[in-house]
C-alpha cells in the first residue's frame, strides 16, 4: 500500500511535521489550467481530495468544516436569502447552504475542472447540489466577480484554497473591500483562514486587511482532523457588531426553527467557537 504525503508544510512553511494517508487506491488524477487534482481512497477517511498536494476535504470529516462555514453565519444572520460562495468547487458548502430557505446561491469557482472531478469521483460531497434550481454557477475568478458585480448579497462565504496558487488573490485587501461593497447592510463575510498553530500569518494578515472595511472583524474556530494542527480559524467580518454576541438561547431558538440535523454544528458549539484561545486572539493585531 502507498502513502500520500501532503506537501502543505514542506514548502515555505516547514515545521518538520507532515500528514500522510494510507492509500487503498488512487481513484482519479487530472491536471487543469489552474491546479493538479487527485482523489484517492483511504481505509479510514474514505475518499480524499487534494489540490496541488494540499488536502482539501475528506469524506469522513468534511461535515465539520462545511457545517461551520455555513450554519454559523446563516443562524447568526437569521434571514439571509442571497448567498455568494467564492471557490467551493467540491460542492460541500453549496450542499449545506441549500439546506436553508435561500432564494438563490451564487457559486463562483475559477476552475470548472474541480466541479466536474468532484461530481464524478466524490459525489457525496455535493449530494446533487449542483442540480438545484436555486444555484447560479459562475466559472470565473472570484476577485473579478466581486469587483464587477452590481448585485448584493446577505452572506459571502469564501471557501478558497490556501493563499498559494489561484487562491492567493482571495486573501487580498482589495478582494475584501469589494466583498464589503457587494454586501447588504448587516451582511456577513466568512472565510477559510488556515490553522493558526501552523499558519499563524494567515490570521495576522487577514485581520489587518479586513479590519479597515468592517465594524466587527474576528475569527471563530472548528477542529477538523485533517486540517492538522488543532483548531482551524474561520474569518468573520460584518458591520453588525451584535451578530457575534448572540446568546446561546437565541441561537437555539433559531436553530430549532430550522429543523436541521447536524453532526458538528450546534447552538452551543456556535457560541463557543467565538471564544478564542489566547494564542489565537493574540494574532489579531
Ligand atoms: N475547504 C477547502 C480547503 O480549504 O482545503 C477548500 C475547498 S474548495 C476545493 C477550494 C476551491 O477554491 C478550489 O476548487 C479552487 O479552484 C477555488 N479557487 C481558488 N482560487 C479561486 C479564485 N481566485 N476564484 C474562485 N475560486 C477559486
pTM of the model: 0.97
The rounded Å distance from CA 93 to ligand 1 centre is 11
Question: Count of alpha carbons within 13 Å of 105, Cβ hemisphere only?
Answer: 28
Q: Which three cell numbers stand for residue 124?
A: 457525496
Percent of the chain with pLDDT over 90: 92
Mean of all residue pLDDT scores within the chain: 96
Q: Ligand 1 mean position to 86 CA, how many Å?
A: 7
Closest C-alpha to ligand 1, atom 11:
87
H helix runs in 211-247, sequence order: none
Q: Which residues lie with the beta carbon below 6 Å from any ligand 1 atom?
A: 34, 56-57, 65, 86-90, 108-111, 114, 141-143, 159-161, 166-167, 169-170, 192
- The predicted pLDDT at position 278 comes to 97
- Using CA atoms, how far apart are residues 22 and 203, in angstroms rounded to an integer? 31
User: For residue 248, how far is its CA from the centre of ligand 1 (angstroms)?
Assistant: 32
Residue whose CA lies nearest to ligand 1 atom number 16? 111
Q: Which atom of ligand 1 is nearest to the CA of 145?
A: 24
Left (φ > 0), alpha (ψ -120 to 50) or beta: where does 53 sit? left
Considering only CA atoms, which residue is closest to atom 20 of ligand 1?
167
In sequence order, what are the residues at sequence separation of 6 or more whose Cβ sits closer than 8 angstroms to the Cβ of residue 255?
A: 71, 75, 266, 267, 270
Rg value, the chain, Cα: 18
| Residues identified as active-site | 159
Task: Give residue 16's pLDDT band: very low, low, confident or very high (50, 70, 90).
Answer: confident
pLDDT of residue 164: 84
pLDDT tens digits, one per residue of 218-235: 999 999 999 999 999 999
Place of cell 446563516: 74
pLDDT band at residue 183 using 50, 70 and 90 as cut-offs:
very high
Mean pLDDT of 74-100: 98
Query: Residue 1 — pLDDT band, cuts 50, 70, 90?
Result: low
pLDDT tens digits, one per residue of 97-155: 999 999 999 999 999 999 999 999 999 999 999 999 999 999 999 999 999 999 999 99
Can you tell me which atom of ligand 1 is nearest the CA of 143? 23
Task: Using the mean position of ligand 1's atoms as its centre, give its distance from the Cα of residue 51 in Å.
Answer: 9
DSSP assignment, residue 166?
G
Sheet holding 135-139, edge to edge: 135-139, 104-109, 82-87, 153-159, 183-192, 231-238, 216-223
Residue nearest atom 4 of ligand 1, based on CA coordinates: 161
pLDDT of residue 255: 98
Amino acid at each position: 500500500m502507498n502513502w500520500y504525503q501532503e506537501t502543505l508544510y514542506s514548502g515555505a512553511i516547514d515545521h518538520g511535521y507532515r500528514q500522510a494517508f494510507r492509500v487503498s487506491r488512487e481513484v482519479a488524477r487530472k491536471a487543469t489550467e489552474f491546479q493538479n487534482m487527485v482523489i484517492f481512497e483511504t481505509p479510514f477517511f474514505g475518499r480524499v481530495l487534494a489540490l496541488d498536494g494540499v488536502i482539501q476535504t475528506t469524506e469522513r470529516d468534511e461535515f465539520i468544516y462545511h457545517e461551520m462555514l455555513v450554519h454559523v453565519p446563516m443562524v447568526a444572520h437569521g434571514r439571509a436569502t442571497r448567498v455568494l460562495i467564492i471557490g467551493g468547487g467540491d460542492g460541500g458548502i453549496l450542499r449545506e447552504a441549500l439546506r436553508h430557505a435561500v432564494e438563490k446561491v451564487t457559486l463562483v469557482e475559477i476552475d470548472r475542472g474541480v466541479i466536474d472531478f468532484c461530481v464524478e469521483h466524490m459525489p457525496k460531497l455535493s449530494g446533487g447540489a449542483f442540480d438545484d434550481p436555486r444555484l447560479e454557477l459562475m466559472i470565473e475568478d472570484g476577485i473579478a466577480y466581486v469587483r464587477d458585480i452590481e448585485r448584493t448579497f446577505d452572506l459571502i462565504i469564501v471557501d478558497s484554497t490556501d493563499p498559494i496558487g489561484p487562491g492567493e488573490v482571495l486573501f487580498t485587501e482589495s478582494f475584501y473591500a469589494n466583498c464589503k461593497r457587494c454586501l447588504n447592510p448587516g451582511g456577513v463575510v466568512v472565510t477559510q483562514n488556515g490553522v493558526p498553530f501552523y499558519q499563524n500569518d494567515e490570521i495576522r494578515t487577514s485581520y489587518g486587511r479586513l479590519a479597515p472595511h468592517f465594524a466587527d472583524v474576528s475569527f471563530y474556530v472548528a477542529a477538523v482532523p485533517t486540517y492538522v494542527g488543532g483548531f482551524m480559524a474561520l474569518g468573520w467580518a460584518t458591520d453588525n457588531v451584535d451578530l457575534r454576541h448572540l446568546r446561546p438561547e437565541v441561537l437555539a431558538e433559531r436553530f430549532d426553527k430550522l429543523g436541521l440535523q447536524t453532526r458538528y454544528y450546534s447552538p452551543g458549539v456556535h457560541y463557543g467557537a467565538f471564544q478564542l484561545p489566547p494564542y489565537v486572539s493574540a494574532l489579531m493585531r
